[in-house]
Amino acid sequence: MASNTAPGTTGTDFTPSRALEMGKSMGREHKTVVVASSAGNDCATIKDAMTSGLLSTGCAVLDAGVVPMPAATFASDASECTIYISGTPGDPVSVLGRDGSLLRVADDRQDRKKEGPLPDYKGVGQVRLVDDAVRRYVAKAARTHPDKIDAPVILDCGCGCTSACGPALLSEIGADVTTVNAHGGVPRVSSEVGKEDVTVLKSMIGRDAGSIGVAFNGDGTKLALVDEGGGFVDPEHVLALIMLYLRPSKVVVPVNASAVVDDAFHGLIGEGVSSHPMFNGEGRKIIRSRDALASVTEALLESGADLGMLRDGTLILPRVSMCPDAVNEAAILTRMSAENSIRNLLASFPRYAVLSDRMHYAGNREMFSRKFAEKLSAIEGADVSSIDGWRVDMESGWFSVAWNKNDRECIDMSAESRDKAYAVGMMELAKSIVRDSL
């Protein structure tokens, strides 16, 4: 993605001094910790400072080196948690549980509360290098793909840490892999990956008909997909493809996810798609959450759902790990492309009418919310989710009402349906209910 930071650097204010203090804080809580990082140019410095802080408390450190985030938690069964230095702006350092779930991100205030005496030199911890995290991850992920496939794929690893296991996993399941930027150079460190990052893939696909292309972000948690015709695939369409192919029984999706995701889950689109169900298909259910990793992870742990998704295309497959995993997501999409034309399947997706509007309200929010919820309960056949506002699923679409995040006196409304007239009707219904609740 476009950035105003220097190539290959984190562009954050997470300094070695902050890493040292966080290491001390974490070391006081844990006896054994895995430390790993992406390939950002300054990640090594942050990791060294973090390691020094951990060791100063007597904590044992298992250094997994430069690996993607989804592979880092496979470094050791003995560790209590994994500290991953991605170097990405916003979340430069993350702490993951043994199952790969996000426990926390770096927080100065939280770390400074845990000060205390440190042991003398005899009590300093030790570092042990662990070099089989990628091997263990690839072995676990490959077991979710028991049958070998015969499909071409072009992987753009962004000169980053996914070079270590992206090609390895795809080759392990039988794919014909062509790599680009799977070597040293200026790494892609952004947490995002999108249209701006697939130019090379699109040009290569033009010379290699029938192949899909995948570009990874800096830490292996997100991907960008290019279909066999060189077209960039919208992230929510990527999620719809995975729904159609894996046929999950229960899935966690953001409350503001597009109708295409719901329609794919219910089998209302993608007629004739060749699928590879990984789940038993019983008790099928969509579970709503906020569009945030922590919220999706929490819902996954509570519900035991098969998959977790974010609107940006992030996928969590608990069967392998609770960590977002773009590498295995690439394997799933490549397997799907062996049995289906991704381009033709996307072309069959219907177009959706999406409407939006806004109303001003400076009154009592609590009173409005109570009235609005009462009126929603009177809508026959509606499925209401009250997360960050209200989402109302109806027979042929859905509408939402929520407080504007930037203006406390504005109420945002949106509606989506395959039928534009139906979308207009839902929007009018939403406006009417809002007016009656003011």
Q: What is the CATH number of the domain that holds 364?
A: 3.30.310.50
pTM: 0.91
For position 282, what pLDDT does the model report?
Answer: 72
What is the predicted pLDDT for the residue at 306? 95
pLDDT of residue 105: 62
Identify whether the C-beta of residue 91 lies closer than 8 Å to the C-beta of residue 10. Answer: no
**265 pLDDT above the threshold of 60:** yes
Assess if residue 7 is contained within a domain.
no
User: By mean pLDDT, which of 131-135, 273-277, 324-328 is the weakest?
Assistant: 273-277
Looking at the chain, the number of H-run helices and the number of E-run strands are: 14, 20
pLDDT above 90 as % of the chain:
78
Is residue 189 domain-shared with residue 224, that is, in the same domain? Answer: yes
370, 240: one domain? no
Q: Same domain for 126 and 61?
A: yes
Q: Which residue has the higher pLDDT, 263 or 13?
A: 263
Residues 388 and 328 in one domain: no
3-state class of 384 per DSSP?
A: strand
DSSP state of 145: -
Q: Does pLDDT of 108 surpass 60?
A: no
Q: What is the pLDDT of residues 375-386, one digit of tens each?
A: 999 998 899 999
Classify residue 13 by burial, with Cβ atoms within 10 Å: 0-12, 13-18, 19+. exposed
- Dist CA 327 CA 121 (whole Å): 41
**pLDDT for the residue 9:** 39
Q: What is the pLDDT of residue 117?
A: 80
Which pLDDT belongs to residue 3?
35
When pLDDT is cut at 50, 70 and 90, the band that residue 170 belongs to is: very high
38 with 121, same domain: the answer is yes
Please report whether residue 1 resides in a domain. no
Say what the pLDDT of residue 363 is: 87
- State whether 264 and 341 are in the same domain: yes
Q: Is residue 193 part of a domain?
A: yes
Number of domains, the chain: 3
Instruction: Supply the range of the domain harboring residue 162.
Output: 136-348
The distance of Cα 116 from the centroid of its chain, to the nearest Å, equals 36
Does 24 share its domain with 92? yes
Beta-strand relationship, 32-37 and 81-85: parallel
Query: Helices in 37-193 by DSSP H: which ranges?
Result: 43-56, 69-72, 108-112, 133-142, 166-172
Domain boundary among 327, 348, 369: 348
Q: Return the pLDDT at 1.
A: 32
Is 287 found in the same domain as 169? yes
9 falls within a domain: no
Give me the pLDDT at residue 2, please. Answer: 34
pLDDT band at 107 (very low <50, low <70, confident <90, very high): low
| Domain match, 333 and 359 both | no
In a domain, 6, yes or no: no
Residue 410 belongs to some domain of the structure: yes
Q: Which of 96, 131, 166 is the last residue in one of the domains?
A: 131
| Per-residue pLDDT at 184 | 67
Residue 372: its pLDDT value, please?
Answer: 94
pLDDT per position as a tens digit, 187-215: 877 788 999 999 999 999 976 667 999 99
pLDDT at position 6 is 35
Q: What is the pLDDT of residues 4-62, one digit of tens each?
A: 333 343 445 789 999 999 999 999 999 999 999 999 878 999 999 999 999 999 999 99
Position 164 confidence tier, pLDDT thresholds 50, 70, 90: confident
Q: Is 305 among the domain residues?
A: yes
Position 276 confidence tier, pLDDT thresholds 50, 70, 90: confident
pLDDT range class, residue 120, cuts 50, 70, 90: confident
CATH number where 85 lies: 3.40.120.10
Task: Tell me, yes or no, whether 298 and 185 share the same domain.
Answer: yes
- Among 332, 348, 364, give the residue marking a domain's end: 348
pLDDT, tens digit, 9 for 90 and up, residues 320-356: 999 999 999 999 999 999 999 999 999 999 999 999 9
Do 212 and 308 lie in a common domain? Answer: yes
Residue 4 lies in a domain: no
Same domain, 255 and 305: yes
Q: SS3 of 58, please? A: coil
